[in-house]
């Protein structure tokens, strides 16, 4: 692991943290764009699928129409065949009759003999009437057969035209259907590619977040170690100053280890600090920040009490002894509540919150979180509280 330095303390520095955080932001934006792309191409795919369904239905209808036209054409062919057969039979009958007429030289032949004879002229006239009837019958038969053949021919022509049109329609809608299906397949490939890109963006973001979290954890551990070392150094300086009978150049904050009513800042000042801290809720945690857009825990406490006219150092090691220590049962708004890894050793203090009443506090808890309201019992290691002094 690379060992960065920040203000002389081991651990990842501000530049490394900033790069890691910026990378998370960039990859989050990239993932958002990839998701938007998937949504857009999926919407187009849905439209193309609908168009393909419409084209397919039109194709199905055209195929049915072609089948019906083919059936009609086949029926026309059958009717024409029947009409042609009837005409042939009629012509055959007429031909036979013509042969018979020729052989009898236009007379009735055996029929005339049979009807003529004893019947006399009346019988002959009757025979002549029969001749006319037969002639008329031959004419009617030929005319009817010709008419039936003509109708069948027209019907066949119409059926053939309809069939050709339906076949052309099938070809046309089939082309449209294939085009629509190709568009769907192309767009489906685009959707798959977009989803693949989204997956890659999501994986890259996960990597960036993991790296950022690791660096933040290393940084917090380094800061905690630095704070503990500074607190130990301060304690050693104070001990040396007391043993030499002077301050030894160390600026001593108000210790006030014995609490008394009225000690420390006024209630009005505490209200100002608490109310201002609540106005910062929602701003992001950032190590080493003291506003105005982001805070760490001691930076928030420092700025809160600055609003009340009391100057604090930007470090829990200085804020803990900045005024009298207050019993938890006597807390009031604005008092600072501290947490340590070892509640028997103030040198291990690592977190501070601003009390707002009702067992609650405002604090900037850790990287990735925001200034928020927490229970004073929501963290392990409650070591005590301080009321800053002016």
* pLDDT at residue 214 greater than cutoff 60: yes
Could you tell me which residues are beta bridge partners of residue 338?
352, 384
pLDDT, tens digit (0-9, with 9 covering 90-100), for 338-352: 999 999 999 999 999
Whether the predicted pLDDT of 141 surpasses 70? no
CA–CA separation, 1 and 8 (whole Å): 18
Q: Is it true that 5-215 and 263-386 share their CATH fold? A: no
pLDDT tens for 146-205 read 776 787 788 778 888 988 988 898 898 889 888 988 999 988 999 999 999 999 899 998
Domain ranges for the chain, please list them. 5-215, 263-386
Report which listed range, 85-94, 105-114, 163-172, 235-244, is most confident. 163-172
321 CB-near residues (< 8 Å, 6+ apart): 253, 254, 255, 256, 346, 386
Task: Tell me the pLDDT tens digit for each residue of 274-318.
Answer: 999 999 999 999 988 898 999 999 999 999 999 999 999 999 999
Please give the pLDDT value at position 163.
82
Token pair of 311 as six digits? 């100057």
- For residue 222, give both structure tokens: 């380094």
Decide if domain 5-215 falls under CATH 1.10.287: yes
Residue with the two structure tokens 């990239």 = 30
Q: Is the peptide bond before 292 cis (omega within 30 degrees of 0)?
A: yes
If you average pLDDT over residues 94-111, what whole number do you get? 62
Distance CA 303, CA 365 (A): 16
Cα→Cα distances 60→48, 66, 99, 165, Å: 18, 10, 58, 16
CA–CA dist 46, 40 (Å, integer): 10
Using DSSP's 3-state secondary structure scheme, residue 295 falls into: strand
Query: Does domain 263-386 sit in CATH 3.90.1720.10?
Result: yes
Please report, for residues 6, 71, 212, the alpha-carbon distance to residue 11 in angstroms, rounded to integers and kept in the order given: 7, 88, 13
Rounded-to-integer distance, Cα 309 and Cα 299, Å: 15
């Amino acid at each position: 692991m690379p060992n960065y330095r920040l203000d002389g303390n081991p651990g990842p520095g501000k530049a490394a943290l900033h790069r890691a955080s910026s990378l998370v932001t960039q990859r989050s934006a990239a993932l958002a764009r990839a998701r938007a792309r998937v949504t857009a191409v999926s919407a187009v795919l849905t439209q193309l699928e609908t168009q393909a369904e419409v084209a397919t239905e039109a194709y199905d209808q055209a195929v049915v129409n072609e089948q019906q036209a083919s059936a009609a054409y086949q029926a026309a062919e059958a009717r024409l065949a029947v009409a042609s057969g009837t005409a042939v039979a009629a012509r055959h009958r007429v031909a036979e009759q013509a042969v018979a007429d020729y052989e009898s030289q236009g007379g009735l032949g055996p029929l005339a003999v049979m009807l003529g004879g004893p019947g006399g002229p009346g019988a002959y006239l009757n025979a002549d009437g029969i001749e006319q009837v037969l002639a008329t019958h031959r004419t009617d038969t030929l005319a009817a057969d010709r008419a039936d053949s003509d109708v069948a021919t027209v019907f066949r022509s119409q059926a053939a035209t309809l069939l050709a049109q339906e076949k052309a329609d099938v070809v046309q809608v089939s082309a449209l259907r294939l085009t629509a299906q190709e568009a769907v397949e192309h767009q489906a490939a685009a959707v798959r590619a977009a989803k693949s890109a989204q997956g890659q963006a999501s994986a890259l973001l996960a990597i960036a977040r993991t790296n950022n979290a690791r660096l933040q954890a290393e940084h917090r551990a380094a800061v905690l170690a630095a704070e503990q070392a500074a607190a130990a150094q301060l304690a050693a300086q104070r001990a040396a100053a007391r043993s030499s009978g002077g301050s030894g150049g160390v600026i001593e904050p108000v210790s006030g280890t014995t609490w008394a009513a009225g000690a420390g800042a006024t209630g009005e000042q505490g209200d100002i600090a608490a109310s201002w801290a609540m106005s910062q809720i929602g701003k992001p945690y950032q190590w080493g920040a003291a506003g105005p857009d982001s805070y760490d825990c001691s930076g928030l406490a420092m700025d809160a009490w600055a609003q009340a006219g009391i100057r604090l150092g930007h470090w829990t090691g200085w804020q803990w002894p900045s005024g009298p220590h207050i019993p938890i049962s006597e807390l009031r708004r604005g008092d600072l509540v501290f947490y340590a890894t070892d509640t028997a050793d103030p040198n291990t203090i690592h977190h501070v919150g601003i009390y707002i009443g009702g067992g609650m506090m405002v604090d900037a808890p850790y990287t990735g979180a925001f200034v928020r309201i927490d229970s004073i019992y929501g963290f392990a290691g409650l070591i005590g509280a301080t009321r800053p002094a002016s």
